[in-house]
């Protein structure tokens, strides 16, 4: 039982850090630029496809990621400059419609380039084993590597946000962008950098998810809803909130899916109740979000204004 709890906790952390990589960029874009970007999941998909392509070219997962991330960030930069820059002064409905159109555009573009058939990318050979924590406790090395990378990125983002001039401008932009503009900061350049950073982080999440899930068209939409839940729980514009929210969502979702169906069956002895448990497990993160919003309407760590 202890081993199961530890393994599921690690699974929750693995899902959590993946969500954090998605949420970190999206919450900055939303918090600083006041931009609702439904196409953020497309960069997750593009990162996975580019990584799968470069793995075939270099036969090395690390090299593939190193080439895929800057390219995905460049795609994000171009999207911001060409399609989104004119939407900053528009209302949120216009932004939602425009970025939904970008989702359709990227899905069709991916079909044209890579085809509609999912791509299966193997786990890197040097991470294909399992880490032994005890006689009855082992965990896949690749999933553990995802957790480590996620936390390293979180530390790097914290250092950048709290210790660098760029981070100071980002924090100031999240709190009062009009004041930042009035102080002579090139707000367009800041927006472009933040958007490219967000696209790169989403691409990193997609690259690491590729060997676990199939790389397929529309994969970004599946994780985008969870990402928005993370942002709402953590507080819009807050990196710390994104991290805490992502871990909470990862743990609640993982333990809910593992424990609730069995608990309902144990209580009632009915397979129908087991199905109800599965349904409640699927809703668990939304119940968590509702509870957080009831007590803290602006999220756990809202940006101070």
pLDDT at 1: 64
pLDDT at 145: 94
Per the listing, tokens 């819009």 go with 236
Per the listing, tokens 């007590």 go with 295
What's the pTM? 0.90
Q: What pLDDT digit, counting tens, does each position of 132-166 carry? A: 887 778 899 999 999 999 999 999 988 988 888 88
- Cα separations in angstroms, 22 against 221, 250, 305: 12, 13, 24
Using an 8 Å Cβ cutoff, are 278 and 260 in contact?
yes
Q: What is the mean pLDDT of the chain?
A: 88
Q: What stretches in the chain show pLDDT beneath 70?
A: 1, 174-175, 304-305
pLDDT at 131: 87
Q: ∠120-122-126 over CA atoms, to 5°?
A: 170
Q: What pLDDT digit, counting tens, does each position of 254-298 carry? A: 998 888 887 877 777 777 777 777 788 888 999 999 999 999 998
Q: Where would I find the beta strands (DSSP E) of the chain? A: 130-134, 137-140
pLDDT at 48: 96
Beta bridge partners of 119: 215
131: phi then psi, degrees, rounded to nearest 5? -95, 125
d(CA 209, CA 15): 10
pLDDT at 261: 82
What is the DSSP-derived secondary structure letter of residue 302? P
Q: In terms of C-beta distances under 8 Å and separation of at least 24 residues, what long-range contacts does 105-111 make, across chains too?
A: 106/39, 106/42, 106/45, 106/46, 107/42, 107/45, 107/217, 107/218, 110/45, 110/46, 110/49, 110/217, 111/217
């Amino acid at each position: 039982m202890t081993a199961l709890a530890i393994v599921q906790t690690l699974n929750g952390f693995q899902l959590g850090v993946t969500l954090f990589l998605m949420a970190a960029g999206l919450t900055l874009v939303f918090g600083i630029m006041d931009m609702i970007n439904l196409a953020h999941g497309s960069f997750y998909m593009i990162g996975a496809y580019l990584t799968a392509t470069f793995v075939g070219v270099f036969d090395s997962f690390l090299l593939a990621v190193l080439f895929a991330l800057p390219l995905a960030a460049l795609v994000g930069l171009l999207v911001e400059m060409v399609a989104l820059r004119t939407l900053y002064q528009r209302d949120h409905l216009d932004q939602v419609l425009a970025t939904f159109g970008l989702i359709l555009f990227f899905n069709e573009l991916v079909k044209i380039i890579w085809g509609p058939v999912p791509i299966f990318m193997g786990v890197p050979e040097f991470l294909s084993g399992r880490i032994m924590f005890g006689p009855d406790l082992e965990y896949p090395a690749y999933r553990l590597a995802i957790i480590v990378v996620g936390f390293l990125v979180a530390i790097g983002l914290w250092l950048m946000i709290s210790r660098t001039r760029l981070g100071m401008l980002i924090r100031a932009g999240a709190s009062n962008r009009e004041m930042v503009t009035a102080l002579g900061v090139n707000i367009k350049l800041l927006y472009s950098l933040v958007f490219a950073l967000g696209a790169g982080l989403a691409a990193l999440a997609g690259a690491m998810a590729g060997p676990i899930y199939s790389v397929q068209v529309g994969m970004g939409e599946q994780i985008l809803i969870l990402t928005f839940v993370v942002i709402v729980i953590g507080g819009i514009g807050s990196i710390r909130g994104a991290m805490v929210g992502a871990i909470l969502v990862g743990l609640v979702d993982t333990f809910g899916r593992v424990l609730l169906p069995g608990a309902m069956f144990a209580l009632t002895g009915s397979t129908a109740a087991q199905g109800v448990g599965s349904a409640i497990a699927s809703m668990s993160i939304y119940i968590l979000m509702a509870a957080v919003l009831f007590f803290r309407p602006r999220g756990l760590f809202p940006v101070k204004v």
